[in-house]
Amino acid sequence: MSTDAGPGAGARLGAELSDAVVLFHDAIGSLMGLSATDHKALGILRREGPMSATRLAARTGLTPGAVTGLVDRLEAAGLARRERDGDDRRRLTIVATDPASPDVAAAFARLQRAMAGVTAQFSAGELAVVARWVEATTTVLREQVHEIAHRRAPEARTGA
Amino acid sequence: MSTDAGPGAGARLGAELSDAVVLFHDAIGSLMGLSATDHKALGILRREGPMSATRLAARTGLTPGAVTGLVDRLEAAGLARRERDGDDRRRLTIVATDPASPDVAAAFARLQRAMAGVTAQFSAGELAVVARWVEATTTVLREQVHEIAHRRAPEARTGA
DNA sequence: CTGAATAGTTCAGCCAGCTAAAATGTATCT
DNA sequence: AGATACATTTTAGCTGGCTGAACTATTCAG
C-alpha cells in the first residue's frame, strides 16, 4: 500500500515518513531530557551554526529572559556552550556541541547503522534519485513553514 | 552537497529532511493551537484509528486524567470527537476528524499542491524507488523509537 | 568623561498541562 | 440485589517554562 502513483501520492509518501520522523525526534528529545523548545532551539543551532543569544531569541520567538534559561539547560545537558565574543564582550556566541550522554550517542549510532542498512539496499543511481527527492521535499517543507509563519504574522518578520 | 554516497550518507539524507519535517509539524501544530502532546496524540489517532481513552493514555504515556483534558482540547479544536460505545457504555471511542480551521485546511492544500509539483519531477519508476526508500526509512525509525522506549523502561511495555 | 544604546541575566508572577486521588456511572460476578 | 471491577471525569495541587521589567556589564557617540 501507499505506493500508487495517483494524485496526492507525493503527499501520502511524505505523510508516512513524517509521523515516524516526529516520533523519533520526540523519543530522542525525551532521552536527552529536553523540552520541545530546547530541542527546536538545538536544531536551529545545529542547522544554522553558532549565533548570539539575541539572534537565537529572534529565531525561536522567545524573549531574552527565556533564552537565558534555555541556554542554561542546553549547557547543563552538555549540548551547547557559551562563548564570550572577543570583539564585543557583551555578546555571547552559543555553540551546539555533540551529545554528551552515552545513551544518546548510542541511539544515534544505532540509527546510523540501521540507515546504512537501508542505504545498502539501493544502487548509487537509486540513491541519487532519493537524494533528489529528499532535497526537493525539504525545500518544499521549508517554503511551507515560511508561508505559514508569514501568513500568521505578515509584519513581524523576526530575523529569518 | 549531501549527495555523496559515502558511509553515513543515508543518515545525512535523513537528517536534512528530518529538521524540515519537524519544523513543519511544529508550524502546523501552532497553527492549530495544539501543544506538542496534543499533536502527537492526534498523530496516533490518525495513524492507528479510533481507540478508547485508556488505550490512548497507554499510547501517549499519560495518566487518565490528562487524557480527558487532551481530548477536551482536541474536541474544542474540532479535530476529534468522543463516541460512546454502544456495547459498553463506560467506554469511549475517540475518533480523529479532519481539520476544521480554514487556515489549516489551506496549509494542507498548499502542501499537497507543492508536493504534487515535486512528484511531477520524477518518473513512475523513480517514484517507486523513492517509495521503497521512504518505507524502509519509516520502518527503521519506528524500530528505533521502539528500541529507545524499551531501553528506557524495559518492563513498562504500555500497549505498543 | 558622560549619557545613551545594546547584550545578556535575574527576578517575580503567571499559566498550561501534568499527576494522584477521589468521585461518578456502568458492567460483571455471585 | 450487593459487592466488586472498570472506564472516564473531576478536583486539588505542583512544576516547568514563559513574559515583562528591572538590573549589570559593555560599547559607542559626542
DSSP chain A: -----STTHHHHHHHHHHHHHHHHHHHHHHHHT--HHHHHHHHHHHHH--B-HHHHHHHHT--HHHHHHHHHHHHHTTSEEEEE-SSSTT-EEEEE-----HHHHHHHHHHHHHHHHHHHTS-HHHHHHHHHHHHHHHHHHHHHHHHHHHHH-TT-----
Q: How confident is the model at residue B3 (pLDDT cuts 50, 70, 90)?
A: very low
Closest residue (Cα, C1') to D27: A88
Contact between residue B10 and residue A115 where contact means Cβ atoms under 8 Å apart: yes
C-alpha cell at B77: 479544536
Q: Is there a domain that residue A22 lies in?
A: yes
Q: Is there a domain that residue B145 lies in?
A: no
Q: What's the pLDDT score for residue B1?
A: 45
C-alpha cell at A158: 523576526
Q: Which of A4-8, A83-87, B14-18, B90-94 has the highest mean pLDDT?
A: B90-94
State how far the alpha carbon of A29 is from the alpha carbons of A32, A35, A82, A108, B92, in Å.
5, 7, 21, 12, 31
Per-window interface: A 30-49 vs B, CB < 8 A: 31, 36, 40, 43, 46-47
Q: Is there a domain that residue A53 lies in?
A: yes
Distance (Å) from CA B81 to C1' C16?
22
| Contact flag, residue B35 CB and nucleic strand C, below 7 A | yes
Average pLDDT over residues B90-116: 91
Q: What's the pLDDT score for residue B15?
A: 77
Q: How confident is the model at residue B88 (pLDDT cuts 50, 70, 90)?
A: very high
Residue B56 to residue B96: CA distance in whole angstroms: 12
Distance (Å) from CA B76 to C1' D23?
43
Q: Is there a domain that residue B26 lies in?
A: yes
Q: What's the pLDDT score for residue A2?
A: 43
Q: Is there a domain that residue B79 lies in?
A: yes
C-alpha cell at A34: 529536553
CA angle A21, A24, A28 (to 5 degrees): 140
Residue A104 to residue A101: CA distance in whole angstroms: 5
pLDDT > 90 fraction of chain B, expressed in percent and rounded: 61
pLDDT > 70 fraction of chain B, expressed in percent and rounded: 86
Q: Is the pLDDT of residue B159 over 50?
A: no
Q: How confident is the model at residue A17 (pLDDT cuts 50, 70, 90)?
A: confident
Three-class secondary structure assignment of B114-128:
HHHHHHHCCCHHHHH
Q: What's the pLDDT score for residue B114?
A: 93
What is the count of structural domains for chain A?
A: 1
Q: What's the pLDDT score for residue B69?
A: 97
Chain B residues lying within 8 Å of A7, measured CB to CB:
116
Strands B92-96 and A92-96: unpaired
Average pLDDT over residues A57-83: 96
Strand D, CB < 7 A, residues 48-87 of B: 52-55, 64-65, 67-69, 71, 82
Q: Domain of A58? A: 9-121
Q: Say whether B130 and A131 touch across the interface (CB within 8 A).
A: no
Q: What is the DSSP letter of B33?
A: T
pLDDT digits (tens, 9 = 90+) for A99-152: 778 888 999 999 999 999 999 999 999 999 999 999 999 999 999 999 998 887
Could you tell me which residue, B85 or B127, shows the higher pLDDT?
Answer: B127
Residue A3 to residue A113: CA distance in whole angstroms: 26
Q: Is there a domain that residue B75 lies in?
A: yes
Average pLDDT over residues A53-62: 96
Q: Is there a domain that residue B107 lies in?
A: no
Could you tell me which residue, B128 or B26, shows the higher pLDDT?
Answer: B128
pLDDT digits (tens, 9 = 90+) for B22-66: 889 888 988 888 998 999 999 999 989 999 999 999 999 999 999
Q: Which amino acid is at A142?
A: R
Report the residue of chain B nearest A25, measured CA to CA.
B22
Domain CATH code at residue A26: 1.10.10.10
Q: Is the pLDDT of residue A52 over 90?
A: yes
Place of cell 539547560: A73
Q: Is there a domain that residue B32 lies in?
A: yes
Q: What is the DSSP letter of B5?
A: -
